[in-house]
A and B are shown apart, each in its own frame.
Chain A
Amino acid sequence: MDTGILILIFLTIGLVACTLGAVGILRFPDVYTRLHAETKLGTFGSICICLGVIAYVLSEYLTDGGTRYLVLGLHTLMAMIALAFTNALGAHAISRAAYRAGIKPEGVVDRLPEVEQK
């Protein structure tokens, strides 16, 4: 029964983080700050939901011992690693493309144009 509560906690944290990411897209002023909200909170929410799956798989594997739980757990783990890396790379590519397209960030300091003149 304890693992049920643990899974519930993971799923709740993941859901709240994903919701806040969506709210952040609506609230923040420009593309760069919106990427902050979406990449960090979206990745963290998905990772938490994956951790919930892994907790479920571990508890079932230890009581039941079926190899299908092992397969599910390993695939979830690899999905988690791939998600963390590709999400960050996607954010980097979008922000770089936005800067190249001439969208200036709102804010107090902008050091990038000093070398971008070439």
Chain B
Amino acid sequence: MKSVAATALLAFLVYLLLTAGSGHVLFWSWAEIVAGLVIGLVVGGLSASWFCSSGNMRMAHPFRWLLLAIYSAGPLFVEIIRANVYVSISVITGNIRPGIVKFNPGINTDLGKLLLATSITLTPGTLTVEVDDATGVFYVHMLNVDEKAVSKEMCDTSDIFAFFNLPAWIWRIAE
């Protein structure tokens, strides 16, 4: 029941966001609000068992959403800009030493793994190729592998991210 309510509420909020500006009750018309409630309940009933499959209400806390917004606008955005300067230089000069390295961030939840894999793909010269579900090990394709990282069996966080410790941020958001 709780998972149905949470999914319905999220669907309702997204519907309100998409239809803002339709009337004069704040930003919405009554028709859109009623339609949003009905659609939210239907979506909640149909997809709650999949959306809340872990059965854990951890992400319902608004503080985690705030942290996620700060993370996307701050460290992640800086790393994305740096990634693009870096890859642009690689494209122009053509100097690359590609390779696949192992990396264990120590993150266990599904949402954390999704966020970290996406962040890795969007940051400098790294691309997640495979995630081992049982052990939580990431296999990351890098555009420029360091001399040190070639010989090491398991890479550290500092070999992959330069400025910010992204796994620590994601650990705080999702666990």
Is the A/B pair a real complex?
yes
Within 90-118 of A, Cβ neighbours of B (below 8 Å) are at: 91-92, 95-96, 99, 105-112, 115-116
Q: How many residues of A contact B (CB 8 A)?
A: 45
B129 touches A32 (CB 8 A): yes
**Cross-chain contact B100 with A40 (CB below 8 angstroms):** no
Given contacts A28-B96, A107-B100, contact A36 B143 (CB under 8 A): yes
Contact call B87/A37, Cβ cutoff below 8 A: yes
Given A33-B96, A36-B143; A109-B101 close (CB under 8 Å): yes
| B173 part of interface (Cβ distance < 8 Å) | no
A23-B87 Cα distance, complex, nearest whole Å: 11
Instruction: Chain A residues near B118: list those with CB within 8 A.
Output: 84-85, 88-89, 92
> Which residues on the B side are within 8 Å of A108 (C-beta)?
97-99, 145, 150
Instruction: Name B17's contact: one of A30, A74, A115 (CB within 8 Å).
Output: A74
Find out whether the CB atom of B21 lies under 8 angstroms from the CB atom of A78. Answer: no
> Looking at chain A's contact residues, is the secondary structure mostly helix, strand, loop, or mixed?
helix
When chains A and B are docked, how far (Å) is the Cα of A47 from the Cα of B98?
26
Number of interface residues of B (CB under 8 A): 40
A32-B129, A95-B141 known; A20 vs B122 contact (CB < 8 Å): no
Identify which of residues 62-101 in chain B touch chain A, using a CB-to-CB cut-off of 8 Å. Answer: 80-81, 83-84, 87-88, 90-92, 94, 96-101
Chain B facing A: main interface SS = mixed
Interface assignment of B40: CB less than 8 Å from any CB of chain A? no
Contact status B127-A68, CB under 8 Å: no
Q: Mark B89-130, 1 if CB is under 8 A from A, else 0.
A: 011101011111110000000000000011001100101111
Question: Are A112 and B84 touching (Cβ within 8 A)?
Answer: no
Q: Is the CB of B100 within 8 A of A110?
A: yes
Type the 1/0 row for A24-45, where 1 means its CB is closer than 8 Å to any CB of B. 1001101011011101110110
Residue A54 interfacial (CB < 8 Å): no
Residues of B within 8 A of A105 (CB): 98-100, 141
Query: How distant is the Cα of A68 from the Cα of B22 in the complex, in angstroms?
Result: 9
Task: Judge whether A11 is part of the interface by a CB distance below 8 angstroms.
Answer: no
**Cβ of A17 under 8 Å from chain B:** yes
> What residues of chain A have their CB less than 8 Å away from a CB belonging to chain B?
17, 20-21, 23-24, 27-28, 30, 32-33, 35-37, 39-41, 43-44, 47, 67-68, 70-71, 74-75, 78, 84-85, 88-89, 91-92, 95-96, 99, 105-112, 115-116
